Structure 1
Amino acid sequence: MADSHNNDDAGQVAPNQPERAKRDSLFLLAEVIRETGEPMGNAKIRNLSATGLMADCDFAFLPGDRLVVDLRGIGPVPGVVVRATAMRMGFQFDREIDPQRARKPVSSGEQSKVPLYLRYLSTAAQFKR
């Protein structure tokens, strides 16, 4: 999956598609909320790039759904569902991230006990639609 070619889920090169960002295969659990702050459950991230991710989810989403994914080592990242099949989604970030930060060990310092959906609501105004 860390291939720079455009591959569909079966590994076939997709014709006439723009070049995709390099993807790293990994298994990472992340919390998902709607931009409104409604908790939607967890996502098991299968691959991650600077511009998006592919994940198995607790809830079925539709293309165009606006969500926030809380990535370990990165924090809340807003974006849009661009592909959805059953309980799996392709998610495009509103801004680029450094996917290697999600692979780094989490610090042993105390983490916020405030749920993501409450933390996000206080900063939601800074994200433009």
Structure 2
Amino acid sequence: MSLPSTEYEPRRAVRETIACPARIWGLTLPPSDVVVVNLSANGCMLQSDMPASIGESLTLELPDLGSLRGVVIWSTGARIGLEFEALIPQDAYLGFLERHHDGSEG
């Protein structure tokens, strides 16, 4: 059974390279400045000075998109992989990319 064309397949979402300042916080992580390095409709990779634990729930505050809740699915050094609890709506996602894409191929 295939998904309608307006739906995303979470494990196959294309990651777009960006460099967007943002903020994260969680139960054990105080509000911290991060840079979103790449973004898909269902997650992102962050560059952060603060460590995060796998399985930790975080809130990511992105300009134009607001607060996105997610779970850390991997963390290594200064990089964090975050999977969102809900997909970013397609129109909001595409608009965000138009405003924040760094010009690299994703």
State the TM-score, normalized to the length of structure 1. Answer: 0.60
SS at match of 1:103: helix
Identify which of 45, 58, 65 aligns with 1:67. 58
1:101 corresponds in structure 2 to: 95
The C-alpha deviation readout for 1:1-42, integer Å capped at 9, x for no partner, is xxxxxxxxxxxxxxxxx84211111100101011x4963311
Q: Which of 29, 32, 43 is the matching residue for 1:41?
A: 32
Listed as ranges, the matches of 1:2-81 within 5 Å are 19-34=11-26, 36=27, 39-81=30-72
- Partners of 1:37 and 1:99 in 2: CA distance: 28
Taking structure 2 as the reference length, what is the TM-score of the superposition? 0.72
5+ unaligned residues in a row in structure 1: which ranges? 1-17, 106-129
Greater radius of gyration (CA)? 1
Partner of 1:89: 80
Q: Number of matched residues?
A: 88
Please give the root-mean-square deviation of Cα atoms over the aligned residues, in Å. 2.3
Distance 2:79 2:60 in 1: 14
Is the Cα contact below 8 Å between 1:71 and 1:102 reproduced in 2?
no
Q: 1:72: how far off?
A: 1.2
CA distance in 1, matches of 2:28, 2:81: 20
Structure with bigger strand share is 2
Q: Deviations over 1:34-59 (max 9, x none)?
A: 1x496331111110000000011120
Question: Relative contact order, CA 8 A, sep 6+: which one is greater?
Answer: 2
